[in-house]
Structure 1
Amino acid sequence: MKVQAKSIRPFIGAKDYEESLRFYRTLGFEIKSLGPVMSVIRISEGHFFYLQKAFVKDWVDNTMLFLEVEDLQSYWEAVKVLGLPDKFPGVRLSTIQFQEWGAEFFLHDPSGILWHIGSFKP
């Protein structure tokens, strides 16, 4: 059966829910509260994830998300200028790493969720 998907929305946890909300808002993501323990976060049209007020260390420590962007260099520069590691304890931002398949940089959120942000070669 062929799936006619419209979106995929992973669920991620947060060590400090309010701090994680501030972090994602600072990144420019749109946040809609679904109640006191969950929000849906919109990255762009059709790209969402759920943030939960839930922290299971092994789960969060092993959560990784890959966000593909159109212009990796410009997006990295826009993220870097935000100074996230200075504003949020535990946040780390790498430089762009070039691979045979494309390029990516890494961003750890305040809980330790690892974001791979990249673009693929055509």
Structure 2
Amino acid sequence: MIHPAKSIRTFIGTKNYEESIRFYEVLGFEVRSVGEKMSVVVVKENLSFYLQDAYLKSWCENSMIFLEIECDLESYWEAIKVLGLPDKFPGTKLSTIQHNDWGNEFFLHDPAGVLWHFGNFK
């Protein structure tokens, strides 16, 4: 069966909703409120996710999102690094680029502990 899908969106939680909104805005994503306790975060057209004012430590710290990057990963990592997210948002962490057999990636933890994988495939 072929599904007539238009997009797919995950839901992620926040420890501090307002801080997470600022984090994703500084990261360069567009945050649009869709209710008192929920926003849609737009990475680019047809790439988005829901940010909720809800926190469960085990859920947030076990959530992972892989964002495949079209451009040079080293340049993208440099652009993320200069934002100084770990200095501006306690609990955030940015790794160095890891080189794997399948491709390359780096990791960024958001303020609630959600683990982002930014990478590209060979």
2: CA distance between counterparts of 1:7 and 1:89? 32
Q: Deviations over 1:72-116 (max 9, x none)?
A: 111111100000000000000000000000000000000000000
Counterpart residue number, 2:97: 96
Percent same amino acid among aligned pairs? 64
2: CA distance between counterparts of 1:42 and 1:98? 28
Aligned-pair CA distance for 1:53 = 0.1
Counterpart residue number, 2:38: 38
Taking structure 2 as the reference length, the TM-score comes to 0.96
1: CA distance between counterparts of 2:75 and 2:91? 24
Question: Which ranges in structure 2 are unaligned for 5 or more consecutive residues?
Answer: none
Number of equivalences = 121
Taking structure 1 as the reference length, the TM-score comes to 0.96
2: CA distance between counterparts of 1:102 and 1:21? 30
Q: Deviations over 1:41-97 (max 9, x none)?
A: 000111000000000111111100000011211111110000000000000000000
SS in structure 1 at match of 2:113: coil
2: CA distance between counterparts of 1:92 and 1:48? 22
* One-letter identity of the residue aligned with 1:3: H
CA RMSD of aligned residues (A): 0.7
Q: Deviations over 1:18-56 (max 9, x none)?
A: 000000000010011011100000001110000000001
2: CA distance between counterparts of 1:51 and 1:102? 28
